[in-house]
Amino acid sequence: MGKQTIKQEARRAALDAQSKRREERAERERRLERLAIEVLVAVREREAAVLDADRRAGKALIEMIETERLSAREAVQWCGDELSAREVARLRRVAADAADAAAEGDADSAAAASKVPTEAAPESVTADDATESPSVAS
């Protein structure tokens, strides 16, 4: 076996080894990408579940305080002292923010549904509509 043949075989073996290592790294990258996605999905699902639980707790606290006329301190006592007054305030704020967001979404939906199509006949415009500026109109 000549010196040239030995070099070629050695070069081929080295290139094969490098190619195999590149493929193994690529497979590892794909596994890590998949695992990272699993982690992030699970974390976001947890955050959504916690937010939903906070909203429900806040809604119940709002009902206890506003409908049943309890003080925040009394609501804490009814909950077995597992909540602080600060936590009661936070949960009520979460529920109120969710209700506000839902109301804005409902208002946006209602506004979109009630808009007059641009092809409407001119007689459908009232005097009040004609004087109202476009930036003030709903």
pTM for this structure? 0.60
The range of the structural domain enclosing residue 99 comes to 8-103
Instruction: Specify the pLDDT at position 109.
Output: 54
Decide if pLDDT at 122 tops 70.
Answer: no
CA angle 9, 26, 44 (to 5 degrees): 170
Tens of pLDDT, residues 67-115: 999 999 999 999 997 999 999 999 999 999 999 999 888 666 555 544 4
Structural domain includes residue 130: no
d(CA 75, CA 59): 12
Q: Is 122 inside a domain boundary?
A: no
Confirm if 124 and 116 have CB atoms less than 8 A apart.
yes
35 falls within a domain: yes
**Contact yes or no for 96/55 (Cβ under 8 A):** no
Residue 114 in any domain: the answer is: no
What DSSP character marks residue 45? H
Q: ∠ at Cα 103 (98, 106), nearest 5°?
A: 125
Number of domains forming the structure of the chain: 1
Highest average pLDDT, of 46-50, 115-119, 123-127, comes from: 46-50
pLDDT at 30 over 60: yes
